[in-house]
Amino acid sequence: MMHKAGFVNIIGNPNVGKSTLMNAFIGEKLSIITSKAQTTRHRILGIVNGEDFQVILSDTPGIIKPAYELQASMMDFVKSAFEDADVLIYMVEIGEKELKDEAFFKKITNSKIPVLLLLNKIDKSNQEQLEEQSEIWQNKVPNAEFFPISATEGFNVQNVFNRIIELLPKSPAFYPKDQLTDKPERFFVNEAIREKILMHYKKEIPYAVEVDTEEFFEEDNIIRMRSVIMVERETQKGIIIGHKGSALKRVGVEARKDLEKFFGKQVHLELYVKVNKNWRNDQRQLKRFGYNQR
């Protein structure tokens, strides 16, 4: 039996649905999803295994013009997406007319790697709009194969996946077949907590937050975790904690429930909040959180 394996990188503007698609492929909630832009900060590797294939997916942060150091290093992850892929997925959404970064757009239209152009969220459109946008995008990226999809409804998702398998090179697997991701367990703890923070706090708070899981200790029946929520200012700390600790408690309870599902085990999660001034602009700290590869 012929075995195929390779790397698929998903790129596109913030909030178009890249994480949702990756999770639809994988069938697990690996990448956090919220309705705020810039949810994804890292490249996340997700692996879909079949008897005769292994698809290794990277979900990249949305394309943005960097305004501060964190964003600059996020864009480094995106650049690296062009270097190691066998298939590129370029995702746009209904209503989107152009890519903000022209240099980047050129890279896609000149790509030597096969490009699948996915027009996502078609569940939100009518037939007329769908036809109009399909034409616009096919003209803009003539080198790509075009698929209208709905990542949340699962429309056309299987066809895209089948096409990926066809395009992958003949190769043995790169990772053990029972592996789902290259990220350590602590990473998913951080992400689960960050998801709740994105959901429950407004404005600049989620963007000023980093989560670091300092302890992850697995016993027979329970996993004990301790995580610190870092903010940039004292005022933000107060907001995160909330009146009599109620806001923080809600984050903890909801994250714990998700983590219990994810790990299939009882979880004890201890959360605390710490002020860490300016972490987003500090090269050394960004490196420590795994952002900076320069």
Ligand X SMILES: Nc1nc2c(ncn2[C@@H]2O[C@H](COP(=O)(O)OP(=O)(O)OP(=O)(O)O)[C@@H](O)[C@H]2O)c(=O)[nH]1
| Footprint on this chain of ligand X (rule: CB under 6 A) | 14-20, 33, 35, 37-40, 61-62, 120-121, 123-124, 150-152
Quick one: 5 or 258, whose CB is closer to ligand X?
Answer: 258
Task: Determine if residue 17 is labeled as part of a ligand binding site.
Answer: yes
Quick one: 44 or 47, whose CB is closer to ligand X?
Answer: 44
Quick one: 85 or 119, whose CB is closer to ligand X?
Answer: 119
Quick one: 6 or 62, whose CB is closer to ligand X?
Answer: 62
> How would you class 130 by CB atoms within 10 Å of its CB: exposed for 0-12, middle for 13-18, buried for 19 or more?
middle
CB of 159 to ligand X, least distance (A): 14
Pairwise CA distance, residues 100 & 113, whole Å = 22
Residue 14 in tokens: 């913030």
Task: Determine if residue 190 is labeled as part of a ligand binding site.
Answer: no
Quick one: 86 or 191, whose CB is closer to ligand X?
Answer: 191
CB of 20 to ligand X, least distance (A): 3
Task: Determine if residue 126 is labeled as part of a ligand binding site.
Answer: no
Quick one: 68 or 174, whose CB is closer to ligand X?
Answer: 68
Quick one: 49 or 150, whose CB is closer to ligand X?
Answer: 150
Task: Determine if residue 176 is labeled as part of a ligand binding site.
Answer: no
CB of 200 to ligand X, least distance (A): 15
Task: Determine if residue 59 is labeled as part of a ligand binding site.
Answer: yes
213 and 268 Cβ atoms separated by less than 8 Å: no
CB of 130 to ligand X, least distance (A): 13
Task: Determine if residue 220 is labeled as part of a ligand binding site.
Answer: no
CB of 4 to ligand X, least distance (A): 26
228 and 211 Cβ atoms separated by less than 8 Å: yes
CB of 147 to ligand X, least distance (A): 12
CB of 119 to ligand X, least distance (A): 10
Task: Determine if residue 16 is labeled as part of a ligand binding site.
Answer: yes
In SS3 terms, the chain reads as CCCEEEEEEEEECCCCCHHHHHHHHHCCCCCCCCCCCCCCCCCEEEEEEECCEEEEEEECCCCCCCCCHHHHHHHHHHHHCCCCCCEEEEEEECCCCCCCCHHHHHHHHCCCCCEEEEEECHHHCCHHHHHHHHHHHHHHCCCCEEEECECCCCECHHHHHHHHHHHCCECCCCCCCCCCECCCHHHHHHHHHHHHHHHHCCCCCHHHCEEEEEEEEECCCEEEEEEEEEECCHHHHHHHHCHHHHHHHHHHHHHHHHHHHHHCCEEEEEEEEEECCCHHHCHHHHHHCCCCCC
Task: Determine if residue 123 is labeled as part of a ligand binding site.
Answer: yes
- Show binding-site residues for GTP: 12-19, 59-63, 120-123
Binding residues: 12-19, 59-63, 120-123
